[in-house]
Chains A and B, each alone.
Chain A
Amino acid sequence: MSINNDDVEKIAHLARLAIDPAQLETYTQTLSEILDLVEQMNEVDTDGIDAMAHPRDTELRLRADAVTEENQRDKYLKLAPASENGLFLVPKVLD
């Protein structure tokens, strides 16, 4: 086992995923299997190799700081699970 139940609970918290305690063991097992597969990477010495983030190693373009979008607040707010007075509603954060 590469990881244990405590690790999975910690990862799930970081990922903002509620985990059913009954499924914890299954997650630990399948995630461990995937991590075992990934471990094959350690067969290779990669010292001195540059990391590759983009297939073309190009720099990201910068664009002019210009207004390109029109205000569509109402259209977008209609998609929200809860909104009021032109704002997205979330549960109370501060008492």
Chain B
Amino acid sequence: MHNKSLRELAQGLGNNDFSSVELTQYFLDRIEANKDINAFITVDRDASLQQAAEADKLLAAGNSEVLTGIPLAHKDIFCTDGLRTSCGSQMLDNFIAPYNATVIQKFRQAGSVTLGKTNMDEFAMGSSNETSFYGSVLNPWDKDRVPGGSSGGSAAAVAAQLAPAATGTDTGGSIRQPASFCGLTGLKPSYGRVSRYGMIAFASSLDQAGPMTRSAEDAAIMLQTMSGFDERDSTSMDVPVPDYSADLEKGLQGLKIGMPIEFFNTDLDSEIASITIGALREYEKLGAELVEISLPNSHLSVPCYYVLAPAEASSNLSRFDGVRYGYRTAEFEDLLDMYKKTRAEGFGEEVKRRIMIGTYALSAGYYDAYYLKAQKIRRLISDDFTRAFDQCDVIAGPTAPGTAFRFGEKTDDPVAMYLNDIYTISVNLAGLPGMSLPAGMDSQNLPVGLQLIGQYFDESKLLNVAHRYQQVTDWHLRSPENS
């Protein structure tokens, strides 16, 4: 059952081969049997089974959609009514969300079942899942290695087939990099495509939610449910949502794929380079044409991001003050002391580092040199993409500079950790859709992801381009069990 696609599961439910309760029970048992992976922070069996029973009624009444009765895992960054929503932080360890995020509400309306809340880097700040208050997540391909981050729990859950599909969020690569490390298909939609309402904010001008799945076909189904205008998110865009499954089969003859020369320079690991180029050769066989493009300011994306994201985070995380919800320190002298101790004890080290960087960048006398400067560079990076898309339909390159690394390898060096997102961050800065799909295995049998970058709101093209590749390759079908 755990090898089935979303479409196959929907057919199985429709044909009465199994019920949603049976399916949900099956995955809950797999989660229990694989607890060592630590993919989940919260699982509420009774609540999941109750949702499954409701879905079975909808199915029996013939009142179902494609996801009705299918259990899904959600990153613990989405507020789920009545269920703990921790964002991987001690600060929210006792927080039972009083409402549903729009993304959760849409999945519930579609009749899907919430299997549980997945582990993540604290407040989505990290590239290895090692900053979680709830401990590290193991990469199912090699349990001595990280699953990537920040959506590491979702990635590990889908890779270990503890859930048919999951949600993630991506501020600088947090869907695509763990998808690459765990051999999954992960899609970060265009900024404004998916509602951010009820998704705990990290950097509001960059955050987007998206699917983490085993194929582009599954990603299309998930994205269909997640997308759409939401009155409750002021940055949600009121544009039509196409049928994401409609164009999957379209041929790629004449498709122009841009290869950024800056991504394929001598700094790129030779194994990653040869696997990435191998995937592009496959596209040539499918009729696509490769064109060299340039993104001349891409080397500035990490510096630019490490001003903008911490600045926005320092502002967003000021709400955690020990007054209205979450953690409060036990002993304090006065209000200021209460704030300071609450935040010092409730936040982990990486979160505190970023709050301080952001506070510094926004402080009097430094705003122009840091924040304003970074916003101008953001424009240059965005303009590079606009020019590049005059020459090509999609852009392709590596997702991450390497494959899954070992625990502790980069924890003492924040800057080395940040450079994991060197190929993904510019996509968030420009607001474009980006995707990672499995394109090979390195010499240590670890998955390598290929990144595809699309034009604004053209997720359909990315899904089409990814799907055609998955029809002629089988990297996406491999799992830690059968590899």
Q: Are B353 and A34 in contact (CB under 8 A)?
A: yes
A33 to chain B, nearest CB (A): 5
Q: In the complex, what residues of A have CB within 8 A of residue B235's CB? A: 54, 60
Digitize B318-344: 1 where CB-to-A-CB distance is under 8 Å, 0 elsewhere: 100111111110001111111111011
Q: Are A79 and B324 in contact (CB under 8 A)?
A: yes
A55 contacts the other chain (CB 8 A) = yes
Q: In the complex, what residues of A have CB within 8 A of residue B341's CB? A: 18
Q: Are A16 and B343 in contact (CB under 8 A)?
A: yes
Q: Are B323 and A90 in contact (CB under 8 A)?
A: yes
Q: In the complex, what residues of B have CB within 8 A of residue A75's CB? A: 98
Q: Are A82 and B328 in contact (CB under 8 A)?
A: yes
Q: In the complex, what residues of B have CB within 8 A of residue A14's CB? A: 359, 363
Q: Are B307 and A52 in contact (CB under 8 A)?
A: no
Report the stretch among B147-155, B161-169, B374-382, B463-471 that lies at the interface.
B374-382
Q: Are A56 and B414 in contact (CB under 8 A)?
A: no
How far is B237's CA from A75's CA once the two chains are assembled, in angstroms? Answer: 31
Q: Are A56 and B324 in contact (CB under 8 A)?
A: no
How far is B352's CA from A34's CA once the two chains are assembled, in angstroms? Answer: 13
Q: In the complex, what residues of A have CB within 8 A of residue B360's CB? A: 3, 7, 11, 31, 35
B480 to chain A, nearest CB (A): 34
A80 contacts the other chain (CB 8 A) = yes
Q: Are A80 and B234 in contact (CB under 8 A)?
A: no
Q: In the complex, what residues of A have CB within 8 A of residue B1's CB? A: none
Q: In the complex, what residues of B have CB within 8 A of residue A92's CB? A: 334-335
A35 to chain B, nearest CB (A): 7
A84 contacts the other chain (CB 8 A) = no
Q: Are A56 and B431 in contact (CB under 8 A)?
A: yes
Q: Are A61 and B234 in contact (CB under 8 A)?
A: yes
How far is B344's CA from A80's CA once the two chains are assembled, in angstroms? Answer: 19
How far is B435's CA from A69's CA once the two chains are assembled, in angstroms? Answer: 36
B298 contacts the other chain (CB 8 A) = no
Q: How many A-B residue pairs have CB under 8 A?
A: 163
Tell me the interface secondary structure of chain A in the complex: loop
Q: Report the count of interface residues on B (CB-CB < 8 A).
A: 70
Q: In the complex, what residues of B have CB within 8 A of residue A67's CB? A: none
Residue from B322, B353, B373 in contact with A46 in the complex, judged by beta carbons closer than 8 Å: B373
Contact A80-B343, Cβ < 8 Å, known A14-B359, A34-B353, A55-B430: no
Residue from A42, A55, A88 in contact with B323 in the complex, judged by beta carbons closer than 8 Å: A88
Q: In the complex, what residues of B have CB within 8 A of residue A93's CB? A: 334-335
Q: Are A15 and B314 in contact (CB under 8 A)?
A: yes
B95 contacts the other chain (CB 8 A) = yes
Q: In the complex, what residues of A have CB within 8 A of residue B347's CB? A: 17
Q: In the complex, what residues of A have CB within 8 A of residue B324's CB? A: 76, 79-80, 88
Q: Are A30 and B353 in contact (CB under 8 A)?
A: yes
Q: Are A37 and B302 in contact (CB under 8 A)?
A: yes
Which 6 pairs between the two chains have the least Cβ-Cβ distance? A55-B431, A81-B328, A51-B375, A18-B344, A46-B376, A18-B340
Residues of chain A having any CB pair with chain B under 8 Å:
3, 7-8, 11-20, 27, 30-31, 33-35, 37-44, 46, 49-56, 58, 60-61, 63, 72, 75-76, 79-82, 88, 90-93
29 pairs of residues in contact across A and B, judged by CB atoms under 8 Å: A8-B356, A14-B363, A17-B343, A31-B353, A31-B356, A34-B353, A34-B418, A35-B357, A37-B306, A38-B306, A39-B303, A40-B300, A41-B377, A44-B300, A44-B380, A49-B376, A50-B379, A51-B375, A54-B431, A55-B190, A55-B205, A55-B382, A60-B235, A79-B95, A81-B322, A81-B328, A88-B324, A90-B323, A91-B332
Known: A55-B192, A81-B326. 4 other contacts (CB 8 A): A15-B355, A30-B414, A52-B375, A76-B325
